[in-house]
Amino acid sequence: MTAATLIVEARKRAGITQAELARRMGTHQPVVARWESGRTQPDLATVQRAVRAAGFELTMALTAGDDHDLTLIRRELRLLPHQRLSAMVSAVRALTGMAAVARG
pLDDT in tens, the chain (104 residues): 899 999 999 999 999 999 999 999 999 999 999 999 999 999 999 999 999 999 999 999 998 888 889 999 999 999 999 999 999 999 999 998 887 777 77
1 secondary structure, DSSP code: -
The most distant pair of C-alpha atoms in the chain lies apart, rounded to whole Å, by 59
**pTM of this prediction exceeds 0.75:** no
Q: Domain 3-53 falls in which CATH fold?
A: 434 Repressor (Amino-terminal Domain) (1.10.260)
If you count DSSP H runs as helices and E runs as strands, how many of each does the chain have, helices first? 6, 0
